[in-house]
Structure 1
Amino acid sequence: MKVSPLTLGTVQLGLNYGIANDGGKPDRAVGEAILKAAVQSGITTWDTSRYYGNSEEVIGNFLAANSQDAAELLVVSKFKWSAAAMVDLQKARQEAKDNVRQSLKALGIPVLPILLYHQGKDEPIEQLIRFLPMVVTELQEEGLIRKGGISLYYPDEAMAIVDERSLQAVQVPVNIFDQRVVRNGGLARMKERGSLVFARSVFLQGLFFLDEGSVPPHLQAAIPFLQRLRQLAKKAQVDVAQLAFSYVRDLPGVTSVVFGAEHPDQVKQNAVLQQVPALPLEIREEAADTFQQLPLKVITPGMW
C-alpha cells in the first residue's frame, strides 16, 4: 500500500473548519481545484470521513470525472459507533458495515483502502478496543476494506492500541506544541510494529499562523508559546510553517503528514514544504525542551 508522505485532509471540502479559516467551505469548483492540485503535486493519499459533511461525495464526484487519476489514489475514511453499538457486538458489526458501504457508494470505489474509527473525546479507548480489532478483521475478510485502525482523540492513548495487530493504521494529533505521543513512547512503539502513522494537526488547525491580535479570548494562554515559536523560527532562519512542518515530518515513525487546504495554492505550498531540509539538531532539541508542557486547552482543539 503506497502512502504518500503528505495526506490531503478534506474536512474543509465538506464543512467550515479551522480557527484560521475565514473563507468558509469552498464551493464545488474550488474543491475540485484543490483535489486536482493534490494529484498534480503527488499527494495521492486523501483523508475523509462520514462526518465531514459531503466531503466523501466531493471526492467521489472528482474520481468519477477523473478516472485516469483514480487508480493512483488511496482514500482513508472514518466511521463512528452509536452508544448502543459500543456495548453490543452485533450492532457494532452492522453499523461498521453499513458505514463502510455508504462510504464506498459516496466515493464510487469497490474497496476502501483504509478505514479508521473516529474516536470522540468521551469514548474510552478500553471500550473501543473490545470490538474494533474483531470488526476490522471481519471487514477485511469480507473484502470491504484493506486496512483498519483508529483516529485517536488523545495521543496519550497510543500505547493502548500498539499490540492490537489488526489495527494497522493510526491517525494521531502531533505538532511542535503537542508532543505527547513522542514523550510517552507511543510513536516509537508504532514504528517498531510497522504501523501506518498519520500525523494530523501539524499546524494546530492554523493557530500557529494567528497574530496576537487575532487569537480569540479563550486561547489567550497560547500567546506566550506563539511568541516563542516565532522566536525559534527566526533563530532557525525559517518561517513558522517550515519549522512546524519539518519538526513533525522528521519524527521517526511518522508515515504521512495530514494537512488541510482552503484553496489550491495551499496544497502547492504544503507540497513545497515536503521538500525543505531537515531542521538542525539543536533546533529540534530546543523545540522539544521549549514546548514540553502546554495547557491542555491550548493543544486540544476539541476544547476550544
Structure 2
Amino acid sequence: MVELVTARLPVGARRDIGRYGGVNASMALPMTADHRPDLGALRRYARWLADQGVIAVTVNADTGEGAHLTPAERVAVVETVKDEVGQGVGVVSGLIAAYTEQAVEIAKALRDAGADALLVFSIPAFTGSPLPPELVHRYFAAIGEVGLPLIAFNLTPSLGGVILRPDVIRRLTDVAELQAVKEASFDAATYVSTRDALRAAAPDVAFLSGCDTFMYESFVLGADGALLGYAGLAAALTVRIFGDVRDGRYAQAQRLNRERMQPLAEVLFGAPVRNSRARIKEGLRLLGVIDEVAVRPPLLGLDDAERTALRTAMERAGLL
C-alpha cells in the first residue's frame, strides 16, 4: 500500500490522493460470549484481511460497534491491530464523541495507540437544519490539532449519521488535516453532489465510497478509493472489482458485481441494517476466521432464517 501519512500537514499543504487509492476494510469486532472484545481473535482477523490486498483497515467504526465501546476498549483495539499489521497496512480509527473537548481527548489517545488516521463521525450538534458550516469546521479544526489525517463521514441519517451538504463540505476543506471524505449517503444524487462539491473545492482531498449496497455503481461514478464494511468480510472480491473499474475493465467488473458482489451486499445490508454487524461476524465464522459471533447488547444476534440466507449468498459469491 501507499502508507498513510501521520505527520501533521501545514496549512495549505497538498494531499496525495494515491495513498487512499484502494480498498480500506472496515472491521467487525470479534467478541467473547460475555460480550467483551476478543483481542486474540481480532489479531487473527486483522492478519487475514491484511493478506487480501487492502491498503488499510478501519476499526472502532459502525461495523466494529465503535459506539458501543468504552474509550479504553477503543484504544486496545487500535493497539492490537496496529501491532499485528505494522506499517504495511494503514490503521484508521473511528472517532466517536459527543462534543469537541471530548473528541480531542479521545483523538489523542487513539493517536498514541498507533492510529494512522481518524474517521470522524458526526456529533449531536450536527443534527438539525440548517447546519452551519462554521460549526463543522471548528469541530474538525480542533481535532486536526492532534496531528492525524482526518476523514470526514457523510452518513445517511437512517444509520444515525448526518449528510454534510455542499456548503459544509466546501468550508470543511479549509482544514489542512482533512485528507478524505467517506460518502455513505446510499443515495446516488447525494453521492454525486458531494463528489462534485469536494472536487471543486479541494481536488486533492480523496473521495471514498462507503456505499456498500451499490458499490460497483459508486466506483464507476468516480471514487478515488473505498472504505467499506462489506470488505470486512469479502475483502479480496472488493479489491478485485475496485481494481477492474479503476483499470477500465467495466464489463468484467459489472459481471462480478451482478453474479457475486451485489447478491451478498443485499443480504449483509438488508433490513434491518443494524444486523449487518452480526451478519458479518456470522460470515467470518463460516469462513473459519473467528469462532464466536456475539454482538454487544442491545444489538441482537441472527435467527435461523438470516443465517441460511447469509450462507446462500456467500456460496453464490464464491466465498464458501
- Structure-2-length-normalised TM-score: 0.54
Report the equivalent of 1:72: 88
2:49 aligned with 1:6: no
Of residues 203, 212, 232, the one that matches 1:202 is 212
Report the equivalent of 1:133: 137
Q: In 2, are the aligned partners of 1:8 and 1:259 still within 8 Å (CA)?
A: yes
Report the equivalent of 2:127: 123
Question: Residue 51 of structure 1: CA displacement?
Answer: 2.1
Question: Residue 299 of structure 1: CA displacement?
Answer: 8.9
Question: Residue 103 of structure 1: CA displacement?
Answer: 2.2
2:158 aligned with 1:147: no
Partner Cα separation in structure 1 for residue 123 and residue 250 of structure 2: 32
SS of 2:67 mapped into structure 1: coil
Q: What value does the CA root-mean-square deviation take over the aligned residues?
A: 4.1
Report the equivalent of 1:223: none
Cα deviation digits, residues 141-164 of structure 1 (max 9, x gap): 453x23353443358543132211
Partner Cα separation in structure 2 for residue 270 and residue 255 of structure 1: 11
Partner Cα separation in structure 2 for residue 98 and residue 129 of structure 1: 23
Partner Cα separation in structure 2 for residue 129 and residue 70 of structure 1: 37
Report the equivalent of 2:67: 51
Q: In 1, are the aligned partners of 2:151 and 2:182 still within 8 Å (CA)?
A: no
SS of 2:120 mapped into structure 1: strand
Of residues 225, 236, 251, the one that matches 1:255 is 225
2:111 aligned with 1:104: yes
5+ residue gaps, structure 2, are 5-18, 61-65, 259-269, 277-320
Distance 1:160 1:246, change over 3 A: same
2:279 aligned with 1:279: no
Q: In 1, are the aligned partners of 2:179 and 2:206 still within 8 Å (CA)?
A: yes
Report the equivalent of 1:179: 188
SS of 1:124 mapped into structure 2: coil
Cα deviation digits, residues 256-290 of structure 1 (max 9, x gap): 24234565xx333333333445435xx8xxx9xxx
How many residues are aligned here?
A: 222
The amino acid of 1:6's aligned partner reads V
5+ residue gaps, structure 1, are 17-23, 86-91, 204-243, 288-297
Distance 1:124 1:197, change over 3 A: farther
Partner Cα separation in structure 1 for residue 25 and residue 75 of structure 2: 13
Seq. identity, %: 9
The amino acid of 1:78's aligned partner reads G
Q: In 2, are the aligned partners of 1:114 and 1:146 still within 8 Å (CA)?
A: yes
Distance 1:31 1:80, change over 3 A: closer
Partner Cα separation in structure 2 for residue 151 and residue 14 of structure 1: 26
Q: In 2, are the aligned partners of 1:125 and 1:157 still within 8 Å (CA)?
A: no
Q: In 2, are the aligned partners of 1:188 and 1:252 still within 8 Å (CA)?
A: no
Report the equivalent of 2:216: 246
The amino acid of 1:149's aligned partner reads A
The amino acid of 1:118's aligned partner reads S
Partner Cα separation in structure 1 for residue 74 and residue 108 of structure 2: 16
SS of 2:136 mapped into structure 1: helix
Cα deviation digits, residues 10-29 of structure 1 (max 9, x gap): 2x21679xxxxxxx999555
SS of 2:144 mapped into structure 1: helix
Partner Cα separation in structure 2 for residue 121 and residue 131 of structure 1: 8
Q: In 2, are the aligned partners of 1:76 and 1:116 still within 8 Å (CA)?
A: no
